[in-house]
Every structure is written in C-alpha cells, then in structure tokens.
Amino acid sequence: MTNTLHRFSEHYAFEPKPSARPVENDFIVFAMATRDVNDDNLVEKYRTFARLALAHNPVNLGDATKGGIFRPDQATNPLAHWRRDDRPDPARVVEGIDGHTTLAAVFRTRSDMEGFVRDLKRADLGVSINISAPVDAAAACCKAAGLARHSVEFSLGFQGRVERLPDRAVLEISTMCGHGMVAHTLVRKLIDWVKEGRRTPAQATRYLARFCTCGVFNPTRAEELFEKTRTGAS
Amino acid sequence: MKIDQYKCVACGNCIPVCPVGAIYIDPVAGRAQVNQDECVECHACHRGMSKEHLWPPMVRAVRRVAKAFRFRFDPEPDICPTDALTPQELAWPRIVRRAFSDPLVPHESTGIHGRGTAEVKTNDVTGRVKEGEAGFVIEFGRPGVGARFREIQEMTKALAALGVEFEKKNPVTSLMTDTAKGLVREDILNEKILSAIVEVKVGLEQVPEILKTVRRVSRGLETVVAVGVSTRCDADGDERLSALLAAEGYPTYRGKTNLGLGRMTVEAGR
C-alpha cells in the first residue's frame, strides 16, 4: 500500500507555492493482516471491513490481489464500442476475498472516512488499519474516533530526474495508481479526448480505473480533474 | 511480453497503455512490437486491457477500408480487438522484472504483493519502527519511469557507507550479496523494473544526513526517486519527525497513518 503514499498534488510541486489548495476529496482506509499474528478467520475479517465500508459511500473498494469495483473484461462483446456495461461491482470485490491481501476503501469526503473509522474501532477486527490521506485530516479523524495515532509515514515527494515526469494534470491522475498501472501516456491521451469531446470525464475515468489492480484509484477525483483540464483551467 | 504478429492489427491501442512506453508500431512489419530491453513485464497491457476475440484478417480489412476513406474510427481505447498480447515464460534474471513490476505477483522473500514490503502499515503488531527511530522507504522508478538495479545499487552503496540497517524482510535486501557494502547481485544489475523500494532504519538524529545523501545520489541517477519516512508516535499520538523534515525543507502534507488497531489474535502465536 505504499502505492497510495505518493499521490501527487500541488503540495508536491517541485517549487510548491505556499497556498496550495488542500485535497478534500481523496481519503483511503486500508486493512492489512500479518501472518501468524492476526490472520485467523481472515476472510470474514476482510469481508466485515468491506461491508462496513460500503455503508459509508466509498467511491472505490479494492482487493489488492483481485482488483477494484471496475475491472477489465476478458471477453468483451464488440457492441461494447457503442454500449458498454461499466457499472461498478462492489459485490464482486466482497465475494472474491479469499485470504491474504490488502483491502482498501476510498472515500470522497472526510466525514465518510470518519464514520467508517468509528465503525472499524467498534468492530475491533484486530488487523492493522491505516489511513492514507493528508496527515492533518488523518489526525483529526483519529481524534474524532478517540484514537491516538500509532505510527505515521510522510511522503516527501519526488526527486532525481523529475524532468522525465509529465505535467501536473497527468501526474495528479496517474499517481492515483501508485503501482504505475495507469500509464501517463494513457492519461494524456484521455485528457485530449475529453477536450476534443470524444469522451466524457466519467467515461475517461472508467477506462483508467480498470487498470488499477488494487482498487485505490479515486474515480470521483479523476472525474473532477478531467473536468478541470477540459477547459484548460489551472 | 510479446505481441502475436498474426493476431495484431496495428490498431495502436496498446501503445499509450504501456507504463514505460515500450510498445510501438514497426513501420515495416505493420504490427505492434515490444522493445524487450525496456519492457518491465508489468502485464499492465495484457491484464488491464479488455479483450475481444475477433478474426484478425476481418479487422485488418475493415481498418484498410476505413483508412482509404480517411474515416476516423473511434474505438474504445482500452480494448485489444484480437487478444494479441501474449505473456512469455520468464527465466532468470528476467523474471525479477515481473516480480518488481507486476503488483499481482507476490515476492518470494516476503509473500507480499505489490512492492513486497509491510513497512509501517503493520507497525502496530510488528514494532518494526520504534519511538526515536525513522524508517525510510526509498523508491526508484516511481511514478512511471522505471529503474535498473544498477541505479538502485548506487543508492544502497551510499547508504551502506553511512552504516544504516537494511530491512531484512524486503525484496531488494533479499537480492543483496553484501549488505555491509550495499552490493546487489551482479547478474540482475541491468534488469529494468517499474519500481523497487529500499528500506532502511536509523535513529531520528540521523534523518538529515540520510536525506542529504539520498538527494545527492538521486541527482546522479537516470530515474526518479520517491521517498517516504515513518516513525512511531508517542502515547498521545504525537511525533518529532515532521519538524525534522520541515527543517530540511521537505513537504509533509500527505502520509499514511497507522491507527494502532492491530493486535495479536492468533492463539497459537501467543
């Protein structure tokens, strides 16, 4: 789940401006068990995690070994070019859980995340629970749930040959799959298609979400970023 | 990864899908090809694209007609119409490319998918990073650039010279031949991977020195480096690391927070 650590935002610009806007639509909570410590009855623990998450309007839910609520189709009907079934399928994620994995839920609002964390505290699953989000938001969430943070890991951004990276609009979308399965070049192509009116932001988002193998891609944030870049707004 | 030359219809859909830009249309063959030296075996193309199973000669004929009339066909961009992407059986040392690039392949050394490390996310049950310590996760090639182990070794050698402790349960450490010198197996040095993480643990007082070393070495590499640093909070949930990082000029806006809800539940492990 280091794959959620380095999600790009203005705060990680190479010359960041002091008044960068806070990220208020991207909050991830994930569960991870440790072998021979808390992996007894694991399938049920993870399914409970997923079911509790579904009560708080997640925009994605993912099993790191199987995928998220949007997945590619291995035998597409050619009619998909005109009419494609791209509805999210959270039930498939829950039913597919079969053992060790990392399970993640992505939320659009802090209040949804806070409600979920309160439920997790009550459920006392015994597996490790982490929040990947702005650190202040995570700290506030802990406080609201009556929890003291155990550990924290900070993203320090990118260094080295940063000139090999694409522009901000592409990075903000592509780094939502930290495993790198959402290619910068595909994001660039879809930004152009949205600008040309060939696809809507929602359609472009669905294409990308299918490449994320663990379901931490935030389709709501991606749609908003596509909409912003559509008109060239900075 | 290879592309079946009979099935490929040169639609070009797979080209932007490749995270490292290794796919191109060969102008002579009129088919897509994979640059094997650049391909990191991540399987994003094979797994991420939806597939039709159309008859290649028919698709080629339709495309030729459309091209003759300058028609712009507007297909779904994430579909391979003929299922032409073909994974290969990989042998050593090429197999390490897939282990470090395909998130669905668990690492043998840790049993964990993705980049194969648990780092601070299970710290509440492993106690891996303690109060007064900092755990560094130094990642090479992310996002979407890729790296070769030769470059990673430049960093491990520099860190070893500082006397750091490399995390034992880490896939890169498992490929090192001499952790005291930071040497990686010679037969994999030229292998390209999508990303790999080097993990080291130091005392908080050593954080500025590590940051300076990482920055200095990163400047000499041909790839990008993403750095994360973790620490254990005190009983009130406070920590001293963020002030250290801010003093060194690093952003601390985003991070991962372990809520401390993990505990021993396996009876046999008590």
Using CB atoms, pick whichever of B236, B254, B263 lies closest to residue A155.
Answer: B254
pLDDT of residue B112: 62
Categorize the per-residue pLDDT at A17 as very low, low, confident or very high, splitting at 50, 70 and 90.
Answer: confident
- pLDDT(B69) > 60: yes
Prior bond of A90 cis (ω within 30°) = no
DSSP string, chain B: -EE-TTT-----THHHH-TT--EEEETTTTEEEE-TTT-----HHHHHSEE----HHHHHHHHHHHHHTT------TTEETT--EE-----TTTHHHHHHH-TTSPPTTT--STT---GGGGHHHH--S-TTEEEEEEEESTTTT-EEHHHHHHHHHHHHTTT-EE-SSSHHHHTEEETTTTEE-GGGTT-EES-EEEEEEEEGGGHHHHHHHHHHHHHTSSSEEEEEEEEE--TTS--SHHHHHHHTT---SEEEEE-S------GGG-
Give dist(CA B251, CA A13) in Å, integer. Answer: 10
- pLDDT(B110) > 70: no
Q: Render pLDDT for A142-164 as a digit per residue (tens, 0 to 9).
A: 999 999 999 999 999 999 999 99
pLDDT of residue B146: 97
Nearest chain B CA: its distance from A233 CA (Å): 24
Categorize the per-residue pLDDT at B193 as very low, low, confident or very high, splitting at 50, 70 and 90.
Answer: very high
Task: Look over chain B and give the mean of its residue pLDDT values, rounded to a whole number.
Answer: 94
B154 chain-A contacts, CB cut-off 8 A: none
pLDDT of residue B116: 63
Amino acid at position A132, single letter: S
Give dist(CA B114, CA B100) in Å, integer. Answer: 8
Q: Render pLDDT for A64-82 as a digit per residue (tens, 0 to 9).
A: 999 999 999 988 888 888 8
Nearest chain A CA: its distance from B227 CA (Å): 5
User: pTM value?
Assistant: 0.95
How far from B141 is each of A187, B170, B198, B216, CA to CA, in Å? 18, 17, 12, 16
ipTM of the modeled complex: 0.96
pLDDT of residue B111: 62
A:B CB pairs within 8 Å: 351
Measured in degrees and rounded to the nearest 5, phi and psi for residue A62 equal -140, 150
pLDDT of residue B242: 97
Measured in degrees and rounded to the nearest 5, phi and psi for residue B132 equal 85, 0
pLDDT of residue B178: 97
- C-beta atoms of A126 and B19 within 8 A: no
Contacts of residue A22, Cβ cutoff 8 Å, sequence gap at least 6: A134
Contacts of residue A108, Cβ cutoff 8 Å, sequence gap at least 6: A25, A26, A27, A57, A59, A218, A220, A221
How far from A27 is each of A57, A209, B246, CA to CA, in Å? 12, 16, 23
Q: Render pLDDT for B201-251 as a digit per residue (tens, 0 to 9).
A: 999 999 999 999 999 999 999 999 999 999 999 999 999 999 999 999 999
Amino acid at position B158, single letter: A
Structure tokens at A190: 């879809």
Regarding beta strands A128-134 and B254-258, do their DSSP bridges make them parallel or antiparallel, or are they unpaired? antiparallel
Instruction: Return the residue matching tokens 């623990």.
Output: A45
- pLDDT(B55) > 90: yes
- pLDDT(A87) > 60: yes
What DSSP designation does A67 have?
B
Q: Render pLDDT for B12-33 as a digit per residue (tens, 0 to 9).
A: 999 999 999 999 999 999 999 9
pLDDT of residue B220: 97
- pLDDT(B77) > 90: yes
What DSSP designation does A232 have?
T
The H or E element spanning position A154 is: strand A151-160
Q: Which CATH architecture group holds B2-86?
A: 2-Layer Sandwich (3.30)
Structure tokens at B54: 């159309």
> What would the mean pLDDT of B145-151 be, rounded to a whole number?
97
Nearest chain B CA: its distance from A144 CA (Å): 12
pLDDT of residue A106: 98
Q: Render pLDDT for A92-126 as a digit per residue (tens, 0 to 9).
A: 999 999 999 999 999 999 999 999 999 999 999 99
Task: Look over chain A and give the mean of its residue pLDDT values, rounded to a whole number.
Answer: 94
Nearest chain A CA: its distance from B99 CA (Å): 12
Give dist(CA A232, CA A154) in Å, integer. Answer: 31
Measured in degrees and rounded to the nearest 5, phi and psi for residue B126 equal -95, -25
Give dist(CA A167, CA A188) in Å, integer. Answer: 9
Q: Render pLDDT for A163-180 as a digit per residue (tens, 0 to 9).
A: 999 999 999 999 999 999
Give dist(CA A177, CA A168) in Å, integer. Answer: 15
For residue A91, the tally of other CB atoms under 10 A from its CB is 12
Residues forming CATH 3.30.70.20 domain(s) in chain B: 2-86
> What would the mean pLDDT of B188-210 be, rounded to a whole number?
96
Q: Render pLDDT for A19-64 as a digit per residue (tens, 0 to 9).
A: 888 899 999 999 999 999 999 999 999 999 999 999 999 999 999 9
Categorize the per-residue pLDDT at A234 as very low, low, confident or very high, splitting at 50, 70 and 90.
Answer: low
Using CB atoms, pick whichever of A38, A64, A149 lies closest to residue B257.
Answer: A149
Categorize the per-residue pLDDT at A188 as very low, low, confident or very high, splitting at 50, 70 and 90.
Answer: very high
Give dist(CA B100, CA B261) in Å, integer. Answer: 30
Q: What is the CA radius of gyration of chain B?
A: 23
Structure tokens at B250: 């690093």
Amino acid at position B269, single letter: G
Prior bond of B93 cis (ω within 30°) = yes
Using CB atoms, pick whichever of A145, A153, A160 lies closest to residue B219.
Answer: A160
**N- to C-terminal Cα separation, chain A:** 30
pLDDT of residue B74: 83
A37 chain-B contacts, CB cut-off 8 A: 125-126, 262, 264-266, 269
Give dist(CA B192, CA B201) in Å, integer. Answer: 26
Measured in degrees and rounded to the nearest 5, phi and psi for residue A152 equal -145, 145
